[in-house]
Structure 1
Amino acid sequence: MDKKKDWYHAVKRVVLVSVYAIFVMQLVQFTMPDDIEFNPPFPKAIFGLLYLLFFNLSTEGNLFLDRYLNRKLPWFDNPRKRLIIQLLTILGWSFLSIVIPFTIWYYINGKYLAYPPATVIIFIGAFVLLLGCISISMAMNFFKQWQISLLDAAHYKEERLKAEYKILQNQVNPHFLFNCLNVLISEIKHDPETAISFTRKMSKVYRYVLQSKNYDLISLRKELEFIDSFIFLHKVRIGDALDYSCKVPENFLDKEVPPLTLQILLENAIKHNIANIDQVLHIAIETQGTNQLIVRNSLQLKENIDSTHTGLSNLIKRFELLNQGTLKIEQTETEFIIFIPLIEA
């Protein structure tokens, strides 16, 4: 289909240039004095064909060189170098396409090329106008390439961001599974009945983790339902040392967040802070009437905790990739607070 379209444009271009060349010839003949008769040393029909070939060769040659440079030296690889080479090729090819035919014609015509000044000016002006039209065509081609390049860049950026986002989502899963298995092993040893309940909850939770890979965003309602099961798993391990509360109005539940956002934050809070009967770890999720979800936990940091620091940084990166707001962090002497932008469904 593209080749047929190219051929169609080429034929249309040859016809238009030929019509233009005939018009120029008529204009040149009109300016020739009556006492000068044009008698080429070969049939006029052949001269006419060569004359049309001269115009079309100049046009097609420049466009061919433009297409060649598009392949070998695209505009956006090195614009300055391309502009210089483009100008040199136009001037070079135009010079050759004029000088060679006129040199040949000079010798064929008995080394005589004396024409009235008006005729010469009209012919040169017509040829310059043709070059101007060729330059406009090249400029249109440049802007077309520029538009395509921008669209391609936007497409590749979008695909890259999607790929990075999926990688960040996948980084969550092994971490979460590792923690759950550690808890399960401990419960199997000390309380087999609780281990059975824990396994069922873990299955439900991990099903959500696996399904969340298919979504960039998920409703806050589903995320909070998941967190209820997630908190259960940790309460099995640390009991009343963990105090959890959630106060989110109904009208906020249909808003969306990246899947596993709350799991990452709660897991970080539990991992980095002391949680025992003497120092209960308080975790609260609330909205305070704003379009932000607030996750706060009491600050009672463990010492010498081994951390890769990937959880929170990955979450911040996920919000950046989604371009739907910024995760904000505040820390006081007693609390660690995260402000999560809620996204309209």
Structure 2
Amino acid sequence: MNLEKIKKNALNLLYINLIISVLIFMIDVGDKTIQRYLLYFLISAMYTFCIGLGNSYLNDYLDSKFSWTEQTKERTIAAVIGTLLLNIILVYACNYINFVLIQGKSHEKFFNGDLNFINWFFINFSLLIAAIGHARGFMLAMKKNAKQEIVEQKLIAKSANAQFESLKNQLDPHFLFNSLNVLDSLIEENPSLAQRFTNSMSKIYRYVLEQKDKEMVTVEEEINFAKTYCELLQTRFEDAVTFEFTISEEDKKGFVVPLSLQLLLENAIKHNFATSSKPLNIKIFVENGNLIIENNLQQRELPHKSTGVGLANIVSRYNLLTDRNVFIEKSEAFFRVKLPILKEKIKAMNTFSPSQEQSAYEKAAKRVEELKGFYGNLISYCVFIPFLFFINWRTNPSYWWAFWPMLGWGIGVASHAFKTFGIGRDWEERQIKKYMEKEDENDKKWK
């Protein structure tokens, strides 16, 4: 505990002590003198500072050993045991000083009769104050953790969104650069073909502009675009390049990142030579949930080292959208890229931050409501049970009926604690998970 916190706690306890000592002094039927008030002030200060600072030190010590958010069960168990032991010791010590040493009560009467009830009442009252302190610490920790989680998720979302936008912005210059290279080659070889290529390129570029801002597109959309692009390439290379598409209607319903096929087709043309006698054969098919682009390897030397922008772009975009990896296989005979086909459309960057923030907020709000209910129950128990014992003691001390509501309500509080701090919930979740796994196994057997 730092010095600033000690000063703050001491000042708060001083204010509490002033209020308590004034109330006791006003209620007391004895003489209203300065000396008598100072005595009440000192006795009240002994209780207030011993119990208040003791519980404050215990709370800080437990906070340094256990995290409320990550070790809730351990922190709760340690708090219950530590608070019980500490407050019993402190209350008995303060009461002994007050009643035996200051007021001159006999040592034998201290552990029985009225003084024993006073000891029990003071212990319950101090436990109530300690429980409120632990509850406050827990709620502050949960609030801090929820805020931190929201901030972290916002930063992750902003970073990922910026990265995704940067990757998508690479598509425009990359496509334009490669297309202009092809056009440049055609202008000298075949001007009329270059004109048709220009018209076709404008249609394809329109698709590029429409799709580049999307996180995902259907396989069908991508295949249709790829076929148009292949027709454009075949216009230039004629029979030097062949294309084979084998995609079922069911596979076309899946999703891939946009313009991935176009980038891979460009790479195949760029890195391999193609002639009529040795054509470049490009196959596009689906296998084991992956869209595969494969070509026979006829590698040629490039004047400049490849930057790898196209393939790296695809890998990076998939990394931002899914845990499934893009696989690249290369042998002496072929080069193959496997793109994962996703079964559902993922709105990765545009909805990430609000949903995470809302989820964190709802989780924290639900947890706080559970805690408020439990600590409300605990505080009511600590307040009303001593009150019932007081009534029992004043009305019928020969029969202690107050033990029955204490026992019944105590069981209810314990059950509430198990549920609130997850002791019971873990068992329920394990049973539900076990049952679901069993059902899945049965389903697999029938299939």
Partner of 1:293, secondary structure, is strand
What is the CA–CA distance in structure 1 between the aligned matches of 2:259 and 2:103, rounded to whole Å?
85
Q: What secondary structure sits across from 1:282 in the alignment?
A: strand
2:324 is the alignment partner of 1:325: yes
Distance change (3 Å), C-alpha of 1:130 and 1:302? same
1:39 aligned onto 2:32 = yes
Are 2:140 and 1:141 aligned? yes
Supply the distance in 2 between the matched residues of 1:137 and 1:151 (Cα, whole angstroms). 21
Q: Which residue of 2 aligns with 1:162?
A: 161
Name the residue aligned to 2:173.
Answer: 174
Could you state the TM-score of these two structures normalised by the residue count of structure 2?
0.51
Closer, same or farther: CA 115–330 of 1 in aligned 2, 3 Å: farther
The 3-state SS of whatever aligns with 1:296 is strand
TM-score (normalizing by structure 1)? 0.64
**Given the superposition, is the C-alpha separation of residues 304 and 215 from structure 1 closer, same or farther in structure 2, using an over 3 Å criterion?**
closer
Distance 1:38 1:312, change over 3 A: farther
Structure 2 residue corresponding to 1:291, chosen from 289, 305, 311: 289
Who is 1:267 aligned against?
266
| 3-state SS, counterpart of residue 287 of structure 1 | strand
Provide the residue aligned with 1:201 in structure 2. 200
Quote the Cα distance in structure 1 between the aligned partners of 2:262 and 2:308. 15
Q: Residue 247 of structure 1: CA displacement?
A: 0.9
Contact 1:223 1:259 in 2 (8 A): yes
Q: State whether structure 2 residue 309 is matched by structure 1 residue 310.
A: yes
Q: Percent identity?
A: 31
- Which residue identity is paired with 1:299? L
> Any conservation in 1 of the 2:255–2:342 contact (CA below 8 Å)?
yes
5 Å-filtered alignment, 1:69-108, equals none
Aligned to 2:239: 240
SS at match of 2:232: helix
Per-residue displacement from partner, 1:58-99 (whole Å, max 9, x unpaired)?
x9xxx9xxxxxxxxxxx9xxxxxxxxxxxxxxxxxxxxxxxx
Aligned CA distance change for structure 1 residues 125 and 269 (closer, same or farther; 3 Å): same
Residue matched to 1:249? 248
Would the aligned equivalents of 1:166 and 1:213 in 2 still touch at CA under 8 Å? no
Higher relative CO (Cα under 8 Å, sequence separation at least 6) belongs to: 2
Cα deviation for residue 243 of structure 1 reads 1.0
How far, CA to CA, are the matches of 1:225 and 1:38 in structure 2?
100
Residue 254 (structure 1) shift: 1.7
AA matched with 2:190: D
What is the one-letter code of the residue matched to 2:164?
Y
Q: Deviations over 1:127-170 (max 9, x none)?
A: 68535523431221111211222233223213322221221121
CA distance in 1 between counterparts of 2:299 and 2:185 reads 24
Contact kept, 8 Å, 2:171 with 2:212, in 1: the verdict is no
In structure 2, the partner of 1:107 is none
Residues 190 and 40 of structure 1, relative CA distance in 2, 3 Å threshold: farther
- 1:232 is displaced (CA, Å) by 2.6
Shift of 1:203: 1.0
> Deviation of residue 229 (structure 1)?
2.1
Residue by residue over 1:269-295, the C-alpha shift from the partner in whole angstroms, topping out at 9 and shown as x without a partner, is 11111212232111000114x322111
Q: What SS does the aligned partner of 1:295 have?
A: strand
2:237, 2:280 → 1: CA distance? 10
- Kindly indicate which of the two structures has a greater share of residues assigned to helix: 2
Q: Which consecutive unaligned segments of at least 5 residues does structure 2 have?
A: 1-14, 57-66, 68-100, 106-114, 345-447
Runs of 4+ residues deviating >6 angstroms: 116-125
* Partner in structure 1 of residue 299 of structure 2: 301
